[in-house]
A and B are shown apart, each in its own frame.
Chain A
Amino acid sequence: MKNKIFLAMLASISVFAVGCGSSNTTKELAAPSTEVSKDIPGWTVNNDPTDLSWYVNFSWFTTPWGNDIVSQKITEETGVNVNFIIPAGNEAEKLNTMIASDTLPDLLTLGWWEGQIPEMIDAGMIYALDELAELYDPYFFEVADEARLGWYTSQDGHVYQYPNSSYSPEDYEKYDNIASNQTFLVRKDMYEALGSPDMSTPEGFIDTLRKAKEMFPTVNNQPLIPLGLHEFNDAGNVSLDLFLQNFLAIPFEDEDGNLYDRMTDPEYVAWLKMFREATAEGLLANDVFIDARSQMEEKQAQGRYFAMLYQRTDMATQQQILFNNDPDSIYVAIDGPKNSSGDDHTLPGVGIQGWTVTLISKNCDDPERAIQFMSYFMSEHGQRMIKVGVEGEMYEMVNGQPVLHKEVQELLDSDRAAYDRKYGAEDTFWMMQDLPMQQQWTEASKEPFLQLEEWAAQYTIFNSQYDGLNPALGSAEEVIALKVSTLWGNTLPALLLAKDEAEFDAIFEKYVNDRDALGYDKLLAVQQELLEENKEKLGFK
């Protein structure tokens, strides 16, 4: 009896279990519902009301669709109503769950670096955009950018993803106002009170932090935080590894075209030692190690940091608040850590990869409408819509330039969140923003942002070839890469918290040895190959 029950249980387990898991049946694409031509945008003929679900892999994106004028207008023109799906907590958790349970929505937007993208493509969960476009909306090719399609063409010859905010090397030649996000910022009034000292050498840097702490121990009765950084995470701290190396102009490859080990560069290590000293002196406050982005934003808005190695667009809202309170308390960009020969910073701007990519999943029941919806965004009409909004309701054309209505401009300047919900232009829906195209309607930035932008623009370089050197998911090298980055994530705080320089040296040596033991050379070999591929795609060398 017992045995029989057990067998029955086993049998039912396998039935249940086989039922789960993803099915990757190849769907036959239905014939287009209307006649297609490359001259007629699909959305103009095909705009019955329909719903598309759209997953955005960023938990901070909270603007709903359909409340503001712009999204209402887009729904009116294309017939598409969007249901955004936003992760409530950890993004990877949400995305992985959707992939594993085969519940991906119609459209997906995620950072181009995410490892799940090639995995989903390999598993046949994503439509090839070029196939959809050929069948349903040849107009797509009219509005798509050649360089971007070229970069995102997979080895099988298909394009599965289309980027936003993408700049090609040609764009870098065409526009001189492309500005990196990475900035070194100081609070204007304090910095000036200190006599605008030089902070580009380790000695000058730590000395200025000391003096700042001495002169301004508190801000609004709360202790001053001498230096602010991005959040610490499993992989380290982007301010203190990637950004700092960029500021020090440490090269990515040596003269022979081999990848250079930026982590062990003596200039970089020397600066890290200075940061250790700063930590020991309490100049790197506990807050810096503990705070998550939301806490930092609060402190930025109160102006509690003296200096920051931070992305300027990540503190734009807080900068505006400071500016409204007291224009002298804003943050200004100055020259930060430089190498011993005083070379210019090499700060990468957004490259050909752009920022996020958008894909259409095979779970989408109506890929025809999805691809037409994408073309809509990519077209000049769509870009103008998400950038400046609806003519007549939000702006008027004056001498060929859009001029915002007064109340629109006022809300934009004072309360961005409210503006997003009421008007929804200025790239509120950034998922398909084409920044080079939007240049024509973009007014020059105003203070308090102009100075940051102009400062960054002079040091900005094109660096795309070194981005995304990630081994294929599931490969042995991918596990190595993960372990190496976790190792660094554990090492960096230990380095900063080391009691003295001898301990620092010991920890650093252990890091290098452990890294080698993990198989770093294998990872490097794969990355070198990927670099060659990238260069070829971009037509370098």
Chain B
Amino acid sequence: MSTVSKPAPKASFGERLKKQKYLQMMVWPGIIWMFIFNYIPMSGIIIAFKDYKITGTMWGAPWAGLSHFKEFLTDPSFMNIMQNTLGISLLKLCIAFPLPILFALLVNEVRSARYKKSIQTISYLPHFISWVVLGGLLITWLSDTGMINEVLVMTGILKEPIAFLADPKYFWWVAVISDTWKELGWSAIIYIAAISGIDQQMYEAAAIDGATKMQKIWHITLPAIKGTIAVMFILAVAGMLNSNFDQIFILNNVLNAEASEVIDTYVYKMGMRSGRYSYATAIGLFKSVVAMILLVIANFITKKLQGRSLF
């Protein structure tokens, strides 16, 4: 017989609920909000499998099985849309994902606190300009008589002005670079926060051991924010099929359509403009399912490699 005292009997559900009532009060509004705005609308997914008409109800519409999915997968523009969506997203993953980390590291090395603060503030300001406004600016800047062309021609980088938005071959780069520029400072915030949580004693110890600045970054800062990077990476991969709708919608036009039609704009075209709601919902659902699969895969890989994961 051991003398170790028995663990306290498990409290009943009601008791536990009562005990946590203040915590519960805080979490319930959020749960209710999520339920109303995220879960209830989800029931509308059903029309992806039906032939829904706006004059009827969602439940009364006749079943269509998987025909909308089949139609999308065999759509002549399917390949083009997927190519653009994935192409832009991969570029963003290669450029827009690492740059904020680099930027955070740089900002962290700035000595003067005031200077650091101003850099941070200035860099995340563009985040607060809506794409509608910024898109209008970009269209003017990027036109063949726009500011960017004038600068490039004046400095001799270009011989002739290029209408960047009028040629499909530039569109991916315009989308990626403008998005990176707009979101760089904002995305860096989370890394800067993670860096500021690193124990300063480690840096001091490293300094005593004679570590250079680069070595400190490589052996202390980066490993310390590895977890944050992993989580952000998983989320970025899961969002691969999400393109920035506002941005693409505003920057696309007939001339660059070949490179600018992505899943999101196609869904908008089909659903909102042409009124084919069932078809558009099916495409949206397809996208969500693929995103889910990507999320699980990325999560699995990071778990194997790093022992860190989202779930």
What is A's interface to B at a CB cutoff of 8 Å? 1, 9, 12-14, 16-18, 20-22, 24, 90, 92-93, 96, 99-100, 115-116, 119-120, 122-123, 125, 222-223, 232, 234, 286, 289-290, 473-474, 479, 482, 487, 490, 493-494, 497, 514
A494 CA / B57 CA spacing, docked (Å): 40
B269 and chain A: residue at smallest CB distance = A234
B43 touches A493 (CB 8 A): no
CB<8 Å pairs between A and B, sample of 28: A12-B40, A13-B39, A13-B40, A14-B43, A18-B59, A21-B57, A22-B56, A22-B57, A24-B55, A92-B273, A93-B272, A99-B54, A115-B275, A125-B55, A222-B145, A234-B269, A234-B274, A286-B144, A286-B255, A290-B139, A290-B165, A473-B53, A479-B276, A482-B274, A487-B76, A493-B254, A493-B255, A494-B258
Which secondary structure dominates chain A's binding surface?
Answer: helix
B51 touches A474 (CB 8 A): yes
A479 CA / B13 CA spacing, docked (Å): 55
A17 touches B58 (CB 8 A): yes
| Best-buried of A20, A116, A125 by chain B (most CB within 10 Å) | A20
Distance in angstroms from B176 CB to nearest chain A CB is: 21
- The 8 A CB mask of B124-157 against A (1 = contact, 0 = none) is 0000000000000001000111000000000000
B56 touches A123 (CB 8 A): yes
Whether B253 is near chain A, meaning CB under 8 Å from some CB there, is yes
B71 and chain A: residue at smallest CB distance = A479
Whether B173 is near chain A, meaning CB under 8 Å from some CB there, is no
- Known interface pairs A90-B273, A223-B145, A497-B255; 14 further A-B residue pairs with C-beta atoms within 8 A, sorted by A's residue number: A1-B13, A13-B39, A21-B56, A21-B57, A21-B60, A90-B272, A93-B272, A99-B54, A119-B53, A286-B163, A289-B255, A473-B53, A474-B53, A487-B76
- Chain B residue numbers with a CB within 8 Å of A21 are 56-60
B166 touches A286 (CB 8 A): yes
B55 touches A17 (CB 8 A): no
Given contacts A90-B272, A286-B255, contact A120 B58 (CB under 8 A): no
Whether B224 is near chain A, meaning CB under 8 Å from some CB there, is no
Given contacts A17-B59, A290-B165, A493-B254, contact A234 B54 (CB under 8 A): no
Which secondary structure dominates chain B's binding surface?
Answer: loop
Given contacts A286-B255, A514-B76, contact A119 B55 (CB under 8 A): yes
Distance in angstroms from B34 CB to nearest chain A CB is: 12
Distance in angstroms from A410 CB to nearest chain B CB is: 36
Given contacts A17-B40, A290-B166, contact A96 B272 (CB under 8 A): yes
Whether B35 is near chain A, meaning CB under 8 Å from some CB there, is yes
- Chain B residue numbers with a CB within 8 Å of A514 are 76
A125 CA / B56 CA spacing, docked (Å): 11
B35 touches A9 (CB 8 A): yes
Q: Which of B163-182 contact A (CB under 8 A)?
A: 163, 165-166
Interface contact tally, CB-CB below 8 A: 91
Whether B257 is near chain A, meaning CB under 8 Å from some CB there, is yes
- Chain B residue numbers with a CB within 8 Å of A482 are 274, 276
**Cβ contact of B55, chosen from A20, A123, A493, A494, cutoff 8 A:** A123
- Chain A residue numbers with a CB within 8 Å of B13 are 1
Given contacts A17-B43, A21-B59, contact A96 B255 (CB under 8 A): no
A16 and chain B: residue at smallest CB distance = B40
B273 and chain A: residue at smallest CB distance = A92
Distance in angstroms from A399 CB to nearest chain B CB is: 52
- Chain A residue numbers with a CB within 8 Å of B53 are 119, 123, 473-474
Distance in angstroms from A299 CB to nearest chain B CB is: 13
A115 CA / B43 CA spacing, docked (Å): 27
B272 and chain A: residue at smallest CB distance = A93
A120 touches B254 (CB 8 A): no
A172 CA / B96 CA spacing, docked (Å): 63
B272 touches A92 (CB 8 A): yes
- Chain A residue numbers with a CB within 8 Å of B273 are 90, 92-93, 234
B167 and chain A: residue at smallest CB distance = A286
A100 touches B54 (CB 8 A): yes
A493 touches B40 (CB 8 A): no
Given contacts A17-B40, A90-B272, A482-B274, contact A122 B165 (CB under 8 A): no
- Chain A residue numbers with a CB within 8 Å of B258 are 494
Given contacts A16-B40, A90-B272, A232-B254, contact A120 B59 (CB under 8 A): no
B163 and chain A: residue at smallest CB distance = A286
| Best-buried of B60, B165, B257 by chain A (most CB within 10 Å) | B257
A116 CA / B274 CA spacing, docked (Å): 11
- Chain A residue numbers with a CB within 8 Å of B44 are 17
- Chain A residue numbers with a CB within 8 Å of B274 are 92, 234, 482
